[in-house]
Amino acid sequence: MNLELQHARSRLMFVFLLVCIGMAGLLARLYYWQVLQANQLSQLANDEHIQNQIVNAPRGLIYDSQGHILATNVVRDDVYIEPIQFFVDHPDDSDAALAGLVHTLHEVLPTLAEDRLSRDFKSGLQTLRIAGPIDPAQSARLRELHLPDIFLEPRTWRIYPGGDLAAQVLGFVQNGTTGVYGIEGAENQLLAGKPGTLTAETDLNGNPLTVGPSSAQPAVNGASLTLTIDSTIQYIAQSALADTVRQLKAQGGTVVVLNARTGAVVAMAGMPTFDPNHYSSYYKQMGCLGSESVYFNPALMCAYEPGSMMKSVTMAAALDQGLITPDTAFDDPGIIAFKDGTPPVTNWDNLGYGHETMTQVLEHSANVGAAYVAHDILGPGRYYPYLRRFGFGQLTGINDGPEEPGTYRTPGSPGWTPSDLTRQAFGQSILATPLQVAIAYQAIANGGVMMRPYLIAAINNNGQITTTKPQVERRVISARAATLLTQMLVSAANYNQNATFPGYSIAVKTGTATTQGISAYLTEASMAGFLPASHPRFVILVKLDRPQAHGDIFGGVAAGPLWRTIAQQLMWHYGIAPDQQSSTQSRDMGR
Amino acid sequence: MGPVALCITSVILIGLMAVLYLSQQGQALAANQQLQQIHTQQAILERQNQDLLDTVAYEQSPAYIADNAKKLGLVPADPKTVQMLVVPHLRPIPHNQQNMQP
């Protein structure tokens, strides 16, 4: 072979070998990336293109008994800026651009000062939240302007359109997700629902693609609750309570209104209260005479000495056992001493009423008479079972968050003495919550049958509706004893005239309690009762904590007008016909 | 068919299939974009609906009604001025008949 041809062939072979080596190298690299690194690269690709999104479940709404919304959800935007990106986008004219942008932002969000906005843009952060939640109008304006380096992030907020209406019953939602206090806290799991998930390939903007693999777990919407609360009566109770607390310079107060037949809570108000739309502003405020946070429902948490309202329970126990009648009489010299050495008891006004019937004991609110019945007629063995039957010292079981059971000493308790018995007869030496006292009067109003109090009338769980049926707790006293006691309470109401008003018979008892170790002028003035007495529809309890003004510190004069205001409004609102004729206020038609 | 013609035909067929596939993918993606726009619109309408519900609830609240009643010059009823009319033997209309025409 020719030498040049051989050289040419050698060069060709050399180039061919180089190409083969190159191809082998490429194949090896390909093998490395496509086979050895396949899993890692697939994972990176999936992380980039496949997103696992959490689908939030909308929180259930809360309605009142008339279907008006008490708690709902709205979406509001938070405003974010991208400080670093801004200076990347404006390397040369950042000052002028910043001034313009800040000025425009300030016009849309006037609460944000321009110098503060400038400082925020110079913060050197990737993103910074500058405002939120903002109004829908402000959101729309910002969207129209298409401002660079600014974006809106939607967030769901819990809103209470009624403001502070039934705030302590409802509670509030923290951070948009977790219910605390009240119904929001007690029924958080039911209201919150269950979030879902969506796993799918996404496009460049992060939107899930309909093509390609995807899997979804749908969200389960939160259940909606309908409460037994009537917004109108709740508002009336809250407003009247607030006015009374202000006028009498009291430290606080509570109102409870129950349906006498079913135990449904029609209204439950406390002062001081808070606005759940701005709950964080109230975190330092205290209620229950400074012992509990204002967020707690005082009707369930503020146990107090009920005072003379307990005389009804004492009389109920004795009537039910046939040991007294309304006309059973005894001699009241203003003080009673006991043969077993129990400390004597005096009447609150230090007066002696002489020959006094049991009905008159309630009319005069005589401590001597109550102590006599408890100590000399009932005795511990026949008295304490009735305290238990009336629900004292036990939780009511109402579903509205934490609750105090109240307490009292019994013969089995350490330190009990017969003095406890005589004092408990007129409401000292026993702690009870306003709701406990209210349901005791509900039992009397309902012919001796105590109903379990409840706040939730119905639950709508994604179309499945569950309605609460009124539940009988137990028979506390006989129907006859309840009737006799009602007559005594009507007589007491008419005798004192603190809460009576034309057209309706009412059965009420006042209470004025003082706390040992604290001035006798610092009282808990209260009144509990029901109306119309002939066919009770509603039970009302009002309590004022340490009223001061005008010397109105006693249950009748302090709490009576408030009780009457709420009672009148109840009768008008529900169109309940008068059960009494009054010659001055009514006209008889058709005669 | 000669080998060259076969190659060319195969390439053309493969190309056509690729174009068809890409076209379908493109349509799916366009539909996806549309769907996203509809979802966005739905989210906006849901927000507006929630805002309206909130507005209705606020304006139905007793505090709002009382405030506006005061602005209109209305005052709470004075119990002393209320007259009760007692009509003997008057029976209330049952609740389920209250909307019936006479």
Q: Tens-of-pLDDT digits for all 591 residues of chain A?
A: 588 899 999 999 999 999 999 999 999 999 999 999 999 988 888 777 777 778 889 999 999 999 999 999 999 999 999 999 998 888 888 888 899 999 999 999 999 999 999 999 988 899 999 998 898 899 999 999 988 899 999 888 999 999 999 999 999 999 878 999 999 999 999 999 998 888 877 766 666 666 666 777 888 999 999 999 999 999 999 999 999 999 999 999 999 999 999 999 999 999 999 999 999 999 999 999 888 999 999 999 999 999 999 999 999 999 999 999 999 999 999 999 888 888 889 898 888 999 999 999 999 999 999 999 999 999 999 999 999 999 999 999 897 678 999 999 999 999 999 999 999 999 999 999 999 999 999 999 999 999 999 999 999 999 999 999 999 999 999 999 999 999 999 999 999 999 999 889 999 999 998 766 666 677 889 999 999 999 999 999 999 999 987 777 788 889 999 999 999 999 989 989 888 865 444 444 443
Instruction: Determine contact, residues A364/A347, Cβ cutoff 8 Å.
Output: yes
CB atoms within 10 A of CB A83: 19
Q: Cβ of B86 and A232 within 8 Å?
A: no
Residues B21 and A394: their CA atoms lie apart, in Å, by: 73
A203 touching B, CB under 8 A?
yes
Which residues neighbour A71 within 8 Å (Cβ) at sequence distance 6 or greater?
A61, A62, A158, A159, A160, A170, A184
Q: Cβ of B84 and A590 within 8 Å?
A: no
Which helix (H) or strand (E) is A62 found in, with range?
Answer: strand A62-63
Residue A399 vs residues A112, A121, A232, A435, A457: alpha-carbon distances, Å? 43, 49, 22, 13, 11
ipTM confidence score: 0.80
A235 touching B, CB under 8 A?
yes
Q: Cβ of A578 and B84 within 8 Å?
A: yes
- Residues of chain B that touch chain A, judged by Cβ-Cβ distance less than 8 Å: 25, 28-29, 31-32, 35-36, 46-48, 50-51, 53-54, 56-58, 60-63, 66, 77, 79, 82-89
Q: Measure CA A191 to chain center.
A: 14
Q: Cβ of B57 and A501 within 8 Å?
A: no
Structure tokens belonging to residue A15: 């180039």
Which residues neighbour B16 within 8 Å (Cβ) at sequence distance 6 or greater?
none
How many inter-chain contacts (A to B, CB under 8 Å) are there?
Answer: 98
Find chain B residues with C-beta within 8 A of A209's C-beta: 28-29, 32
Q: Is the pTM of this model over 0.90?
A: no
Looking at residue B102, what is its pLDDT? 53
Q: Cβ of B54 and A163 within 8 Å?
A: no
Three-state SS at A340: coil
A500 touching B, CB under 8 A?
no
Structure tokens belonging to residue A369: 């008479």
Where do the structural domains in chain B lie, given as residue ranges?
3-74
Instruction: Determine contact, residues A276/A237, Cβ cutoff 8 Å.
Output: no
Residues B83 and A152: their CA atoms lie apart, in Å, by: 59
Q: Cβ of B57 and A72 within 8 Å?
A: yes
* B31: nearest CB among A72, A210, A588: A210
Q: Of A407, A428, A423, A410, which Cα lies nearest the Cα of A342?
A: A423
CB atoms within 10 A of CB A435: 30
CB atoms within 10 A of CB A110: 9
Residues A191 and A62: their CA atoms lie apart, in Å, by: 9
**What structural domains and CATH numbers belong to chain A?**
76-156 (3.30.70), 231-573 (3.40.710.10)
